[in-house]
Each structure stands twice: as structure tokens, then as C-alpha cells.
Amino acid sequence: MAVEVVMPKLGMAMKEGSVSLWHKKEGDPVTKGEIIANIGSEKIETDLEAPADGVLLKIAVPEGEGVPPGTIIGYIGQPGEQVGTAAAGAAGAKPGENAAADAALPSDAAPAGGSAPAEAPAHGRDIKISPVARKMAEAAGLDIAKITGTGPQGRITKEDVEHAIANAASTPASAGEAAASSDSQASVGSTNPALAAAPSGFVEHAEQIPVAGIRKVIAARMLDSLQQSAQLTLTLRADVTDLLALQKRMSETAQKQHEVKLTVTDFIARAVVLSLKRHKQMNSAYIGDRIHVFDHVHLGIAVALDKGLVVPVIRHADQYSVLDLSRHIKALAQQARSGQLGSDALQGSTFTITNLGAYGIDYFTPILNTPEAGILGVGAVTDTPVYRGDELQRRSLLPLSLTFDHRVLDGAPAAEFLRAVKDALEDPYRLVL
């Protein structure tokens, strides 16, 4: 009997997941425990392992289509084993959708294995179409009633829309259709100026990558952040010469006695936490028409993954020493990179740190992780000649970029907070006492 492959629940807050990538095609052999797909939610992306040996009999949910946890997305069984149309339809449907879908089937519908697709209903709202496919069709100005669905029970999939777009691009328009096409392109161009300005044939010959999974979430959140907040960035440099010397001395001892490798990021995290306790206005969030100022510090640390950026949260970071912060930062980063981080660990931060120093970046403009009021960008340490009194010395300087929400606080208090971080880093013994 075929084994169901279901959409996993990646966290308590997960309401919908999608297959970012199928590593197998229908008919491909699979081994239990083998990675067959990448699953993405609103917060994270992880690998999905095959629950049994056999072959991938059917892919019921295509890439990019969002479905609730527990939805059957595919079947694994023995070669030649059949999956009934009822089961296949249930796999691609969301909970509560099957009864309506079955009722919509005509009485003389083709039996299992039949080739006749279900006829599309007349009204757009009644047509079964995946959310991704609907958005693609709307962006391209296509009438979904004229698209033939090849999914379960005539459901229109992303591939069906892509095929319709390709046909529309290659089919010459009649004189009457040309005007409609012009209006449609003008409409599309108004929402996507880049496409409107592109030369003829530009879009057709470009690789088109669906925006799904983590990338889709990041795109939506970054755009929303810039549109819903008043962001301003301040920069300065901290002299971390003494901090680097302290970190070097402490690192060997911490490694031997506590099995923790202390990094500059650990000290920066501690400096930020101490500064947030003194400047609580920065440790706040703009929600509705109110500014919420927090007593606790839930510190977000941005982690770059191959498929996007995630921000795991160290809860009650103000209660931890440099060693404790170091343990939490490394543990969360490892869980994020191995795909073991639950969505609950990515929520509730009150301030975020993002570090691009490893890439040789100096100053940059971090985008707020809204509704937080601030995010600190950390650049690369550079050795620079600096006058200390009349003496020219070689000092190690660390670029810091603070983006804050001007609706929450003004430039002066934001500058005071950034200066507090600088002072803490330049007097590093305060961070360990």
C-alpha cells in the first residue's frame, strides 16, 4: 500500500508550508531517510526525508503551492502501484476542500486513469487554482477561466500558468486583441516598472525563478519594513584594540575550561545588551499607535543561510554573561544551518544584530526587523593609524551602523545608544564583570 508523504508542522505558529524544491521526479526510486524535497514555511526551510523505501508514485503538491501542515503532498510505493484519483485529489486539497471538489465533479467524469480534465467553472472565484498560480496569472493579466488545469480534479497549477504565459508570448495578436494586450501590458507595467521598461524579448529570454519559501517571506518583510517605518541609519567606529587583546587572552581559557570559543560577536552582543538596559527606548517596538518599551532583552542574531537570512532569538539575553551568550549564539546558528531550528525560536526579538564583517563590508544600511525599533549592523575590523594625543598609533577600528525607527525615537537618543555600545566595546573589562 502506498505510503503518504505529508507536509510537516515546523513549529506551533506554522499555518502553511510549501515545497520549495522536489529533489525527485515521479517514478524515481527513493530510500527511507533520503532527502526528497525542501519544505519552507513563513520562517524557516528544512529538508524532508522519505518515510519509506520505494518509488515516488505521485507528486500531489507542486513546488511553490502553499498547503496546511498535515496535507498529503505525495505518495511512495512499489513500482507500478496505482494511486486512486480520490486519494490523489485529497492529497492536493486543503482540509475541508475535498467535499466541495467532489461535488463539483460531473456525474459522467472519467474514471481513474481517464484523460479528460475537469471543465473550468465560469466564475474566477470558483475555479480551483493554487495561490501561487493565481498570483502569477494576475500579474501576467491572464484570464484564469481560459486556462486548462492539469492538477488534481482540474486544479490550475503554476506550470499551467507558465505554459499559458509562454503561449501568449508566442501567439500573434489580432487587431482587436492587440489593444487589449496593450492595456494589459500597461497594467502589468504599472505594477512592475522593470518589466515595462525591458526591451522586446528581454523577459522571454531571462531565467525566471519563482519566489517561494524563505525568499518570499524575506521579500515581503523587507518591503513591509521600509513601507511601514521611518528608518534612519547612524554610523561610527569603535576602537576595539583592547577588546581584541582581551578576547585573545580569554579565548584560550574559555576553550579549555568551558569548551566555548569566544568571538568578537559575543562581546558585541554583551555590549548591546548592556546598552539596551541603559537606553530602554531603543529596546522597544512600534505596534499600532503605541510604543511598547520592554524591560527584558530578547536579542536576535542574524544568520545567513544558502537560501536566505534567518534571525534566531536569544530570550532574556540580559540575564546572560559573555560565555552564556556565546553558547546560545553558536547553538542557534548551528541549528539554523542544519535546518533544526523551529519557527518558535525565530519570533519575539526586541533588537537585532547583523554582522557582515566576514565579507569585508565596512558600513551598510541594515533594514529593521519590524516591529523592532533598532538593528545594529557590524562591519569588518580594520587596522588604521590613529592619533592618540600627539602619538600616531596603529589601532583596530570596528564600523557600526545603527538603523532605528524615527517614529519611536529621535536622532539624539539613538546616537546616545550607539555611543554607549562604542564606549562598552572600548572598555571591554566592563563586559566580563
Question: What is d(CA 28, CA 58) in angstroms, rounded to the nearest whole number?
Answer: 10
Q: How far apart are alpha carbons 74 and 67 in whole angstroms? A: 12
* Whether 235 contacts 415, CB under 8 Å: no
Residue 315: closest CA among 348, 275, 292: 348
Active-site annotation holder among 143, 406, 423, 427: 406
Alpha-carbon distance of 38 to 28, in angstroms, equals 16
410 classed as catalytic:
yes
Residue 328 is among the residues annotated as catalytic for this protein:
no
Alpha helix (H) ranges present in 192-285?
A: 193-197, 213-228, 241-258, 264-278
SS3 category, 339? coil
**Residue the block writes with cell 505518495:** 75
Helix, strand or coil for residue 128? coil
Whole-angstrom Cα distance, residue 229 to residue 315?
A: 24
Does residue 283 sit in helix, strand or coil?
A: coil
Q: Residue 224 and residue 367: Cα distance in Å, rounded?
A: 10
The CA distance from 9 to 20, in Å, is 15
- Pick the catalytic residue from 28, 126, 143, 410: 410
Q: HSE-up of 100 (CA within 13 Å, CB side)?
A: 9
Enzyme catalytic residues: 406, 410
